[in-house]
Amino acid sequence: MKRVMNFLILILTGVSVACQKPDPKPADPIKPADSSKLELVWKTPLASGNSSISSFNPIAYNGITAFAGVTSTTQTVQAFDVQNGQKKWELAVCNGIGDNPIGQNFMIAECENEMSVVNLDNGQLSWYYKVDGGMPRLTIINDLIYHRQGGPGLRMPYMHLVRSPLAQAQWDTVFTLYRDSIGGYTPFIESPTLWINPQGEEVLLFQNRSWNFDTSDGKIDFYAYNLSTQKVQFILEDIDPSGNSNVVTPLVDGNYAYFLGARSVSCIDLLEGNVVWQNLFYGDGAHALTSNLLIVGNKLIVKQDHDLISAFDKFSGDEEWIRGEVGFTPSHMAYHDGIIYYTADGDGKLFAVNASNGRIIWAEDSPNEGEVPASFNGGVAIDPVNRLIFVADRYYAMAFKLPER
């Protein structure tokens, strides 16, 4: 276990087991190549009067693109026609910012302790729920909403993992973790993902990011909970040496799961319940707290918070390539047709990176930068049918053409 100095970081945000990790390689910065200015299809203001508004993880759905945007006082969800940017609808929801998962024809706007279930077809509020115990940290699995619900007080004696159908609020408790059962650490269950084991049983995979107030110590445990047998299949305790982690759901690929710690990435054999390999990130800013993981072929793509992006062999953990000058504080990455897309809040740029070698294709500023103090932020959504990429720059929602391959 590793002591963590800032408890708020824990809440809000190679060493090899099966093979020897090669010596760390220095960053290999490659200057942007094949550069071409983005071809703008349309842009639409996100707020009136050139007001600034931050967005988070836009989505593409059935002919629309939707952005959840937050100002100092309000949060709205806005939907635009993918072809021309005409606003289809707008709905005021809770004040805050969080993930925006979708399932069926619903999107969930998540705030600090609230969720608004929005019908994407008409922009109407389907239902609203206020969560006890703070941020819900939502995910949708098989049209069921999962979130965490904590016990009373800062040192919560327990935390529930609960779920409800998308269509209506009908909650039931799936799993409960008690502080007394984990050595006095306060439990913080994060969003689960699903693995179907060879027996056809549904197994939830999630992490518990726990904190011990008495010893000021953080501990990250990885759980596999079998929904069919209602039993814990295995636990990997203290999986990250830093005692901190990313809050994205584990990434499942066959009978393996990939997990992001604050300074590590791990491959977990779900059949054996052990860590196959783990690689550590070194150096100032070498955390991985803001982005997600991608699998492209046999490569596992990791974007650290500083200006590096790495590709590892997903089977062995060997480093395939590493590139520098690729943006600070990245959004979640999206992949299409050999290219990785993301925005970098620290640089205000939209990046497109070749997945095969890490070569930068785009590193573009917003075309609105001279008109307003614009900078790309909040991630991207991709429409592969119309070959469009949707992104915001704090002032405008925009659509650009995807590059031809």
The residue among 167 and 32 whose pLDDT is bigger is 167
DSSP character string of 209-233: EEEETTTTEEEEEEEEEETTTTEEE
**Of 61, 56, 88, which is closest to residue 75 (Cα–Cα)?**
56
pLDDT surpasses 90 at 29? no
- CA 340 – CA 357 distance, rounded (Å): 11
More confidently predicted of 94 and 371: 371
List, for residues 384-400, the tens digit of each pLDDT value.
Answer: 999 999 999 999 999 99
pLDDT at 71: 73
Provide the pLDDT confidence category of residue 181 given band limits of 50, 70 and 90.
very high
Please tell me which residue, 25 or 374, carries the higher pLDDT value.
374
24 or 372: which leads in pLDDT: 372
Q: What is the mean pLDDT of the chain?
A: 88
Mean pLDDT lowest for which of 11-25, 50-64, 329-343? 11-25
Dihedral sign computed on CA atoms, order 353, 109, 288, 350: positive
CB under 8 A, 24+ apart: contacts of 93-96: 93/68, 93/118, 93/125, 95/70, 96/70
pLDDT for the residue 74: 75
CA atoms within 13 A on the CB side of 37: 6
Q: Residue 299 and residue 321: Cα distance in Å, rounded? A: 10
The secondary structure of residue 9, as a DSSP letter, is H
pLDDT score for 98: 63
Instruction: Look at residue 136 in the predicted model and tell me its pLDDT.
Output: 83
285 or 365: which leads in pLDDT: 365
Confidence of residue 34 (pLDDT cuts 50, 70, 90): very low
Confidence of residue 95 (pLDDT cuts 50, 70, 90): low
Per-residue model confidence (pLDDT) at position 56: 81
Least-confidence region, from 50-64, 165-179, 198-212, 219-233: 50-64
Beta strands in 249-387 (DSSP E): 251-253, 256-260, 264-269, 274-280, 293-296, 299-303, 309-313, 319-323, 334-336, 339-344, 349-354, 360-364, 377-383
Residue 5 has pLDDT above 70, yes or no: no
Give the total residue count for the chain.
Answer: 405
pLDDT of res. 1: 54
> Residue 30 pLDDT > 50, yes or no?
no
Look-up of token digits 């050139």: 50
pLDDT at position 19 is 33
Answer for the pair 322, 313: CB distance below 8 angstroms, yes or no.
no
Rounded Cα gap, residues 256 and 269, in angstroms: 5
Residue 404 vs residue 299, higher pLDDT: 299
User: How large is the average pLDDT for residues 348-356?
Assistant: 96
Q: The whole model's pTM is what?
A: 0.89
**In whole angstroms, what is the distance from residue 209 CA to residue 211 CA?**
7
pLDDT tens, residue by residue, 218-251:
999 999 999 999 999 999 999 999 999 999 999 9
Question: Rounded to whole angstroms, how far apart are CA atoms 253 and 298?
Answer: 10
Average pLDDT over residues 31-42: 65
- The confidence score (pLDDT) of residue 286 equals 86
Q: Is the pLDDT of residue 6 over 70?
A: no
